[in-house]
A and B are shown apart, each in its own frame.
Chain A
């Protein structure tokens, strides 16, 4: 075989094979861990926040190639965003940035969005003063 065929597109494979921001943040300001009831995957996201802006993000994922790629891409996308911007983050951004996911794998990107929002919620809980920046509907959207 001269060509290499891949299950996912090049971008997804790249983020799976060489994930960005993999690991934990030692002094994270917010940590979220969520699971997908549908398939059993688990995703954890840690955030560093300075002056209301996400300065760093890390992930750890128990899941398939597209779950790992989705969490890698999500951490890339959210760095530099304000809390409020991050609260409006949608899984579609991950899908678009990855150049698409197979229909059966879209839920992996949803898991990345949920992990991010759980981490933001944790941050808001630890920093109640920041809650004023957060619309109440967004903060309760992902309660657990």
Chain B
């Protein structure tokens, strides 16, 4: 069976050159970078090199502004909590967008229990943060603004530079979660006006188990992990040296190959979306159309009248790996909060599928996915009472309304006794 991997937001394969660079740090150069002997000094040098490589990817002024953590989630926790705690005497208010990743959302909600307050800024129907609403949300107590660079679910690129200008004007640090964007979008922390920015190397062909936080030297940050004085006292714990070395090499390759990767993947994104759109009726693209407002590697789709997990499982049985934000996939039985934030009809959120492309995908694979997926949709629609009821004019389509029948949500509410949301 053919295998097509379309879940690059969850994980990417490690770059062979990163793997090669990591190898000596398992068996030979096993020293602790905090040690003062040869073994320690050698790996300390490797960490410095990785810091330089990451600094170049995000155009940081100095490698000293790069901190290594255990992953994107820890970087976000450090940024949100570390800035909030560091500025506790100045204020206790955080401004963030309603489509932030759960790492940001749950960190902010944790801080709320600790007495902090926050304002959640709404987005438009394609998931773009409403900058004017963000400006209005800022108070004299605000000590942190959080806006992601690209949305992890629907691929929306946020107007971060505009937010950065507002943050600079008000003298408030801006934390940019670039965990879903790094390696696929050019990043310049100066241009963005980011005081802090997080990266997730396993999404750009680096290893898992390592995260990065850029922090401008002028932004106050306290450690949230207590122990030794590693990472300039901002992150206690022995560094994961092999992974950090791999992350550095992956960052160097990302900076070097960014243009060719983006061009290649954007071409595939357009081919896949136009192929799917032509082959499958009642299919909706969530987030902006492929183009300047959407990250090059993401397609977030809603297939009407069928549910997402079934689509995912059947695709997997045909060798195609994808993700879904349907409630049936989530452990909480809730649809993705991003889909709710853009006001997506629950019926469409149920049929959600996320395809994220990578540098090794090919045009031929896109055509294969269009073919297989069309057959799968047909099969599942044949099994769906909603498809049948749509054919008979009992319920209407949300994607392409015919004016016949009731809305799916009304109908679903009736048969289930209460609204699905």
A and B: real partners?
yes
A positions within 8 Å CB-CB of B:
1, 7, 16-17, 19, 22, 24, 33-44, 60-65, 67-68, 104, 107, 144
The answer for the CA separation of A16 and B412 in the assembled complex, in Å, is 22
A22 to B417, CA, bound (A): 25
- Of chain B, the residue at the smallest CB distance from A33 is B415
**B384: A residues at CB distance < 8 A:** 60-62
- Please determine whether B412 and A40 come into contact, CB atoms closer than 8 angstroms: yes
Interface stretch (choices B23-31, B207-215, B303-311, B399-407): B303-311
Contact B309 A65 (CB under 8 A): yes
- 10 pairs of A and B residues whose beta carbons are closest in the complex: A35-B416, A64-B328, A64-B309, A40-B420, A60-B385, A35-B415, A44-B385, A37-B416, A39-B327, A62-B384
Considering only residues 309-342 of chain B, those with a C-beta below 8 Å from chain A are: 309-310, 313-314, 317, 326-329, 331, 333, 335
Pairwise interchain contact B328-A19, C-beta atoms closer than 8 A: no
The answer to the question of B118 belonging to the interface, with a C-beta cut-off of 8 Å to chain A, is: no
State how many angstroms separate the Cβ of B322 from the closest Cβ of chain A.
13
B181 at the interface (CB under 8 A from A): no
Interface contact B385-A33, CB-CB below 8 Å: yes
Residue pair B412, A42 in contact (C-beta under 8 Å): yes
List B contacts of A61 (CB < 8 A): 383-385
Of the A-B pairs whose beta carbons lie under 8 Å apart in the complex, a sample of 24, sorted by A's number, is A1-B3, A16-B313, A33-B415, A35-B413, A37-B418, A37-B419, A39-B328, A39-B333, A39-B420, A40-B347, A40-B420, A41-B307, A42-B415, A42-B416, A60-B384, A62-B384, A63-B307, A63-B310, A64-B307, A64-B309, A64-B310, A65-B309, A68-B383, A104-B331
For residue B97, CB closer than 8 A to chain A, the reply is no
Q: How far is the CA of A35 from the CA of B418 in the complex (A)?
A: 9
Residues of A near B309 (CB, < 8 A) are: 64-65
- Known contacts A24-B388, A37-B420; decide if A65 and B383 are in contact (CB<8 Å): no
How far is the CB of B421 from the nearest CB of chain A, in Å?
9
C-alpha spacing A107/B91, complex, angstroms? 45
A45 to B416, CA, bound (A): 14
Q: Is the CB of B346 closer than 8 A to any CB of chain A?
A: yes
B416-A34 in contact (CB<8A): yes
Bound state CA distance, A6 and B304, in angstroms?
A: 25
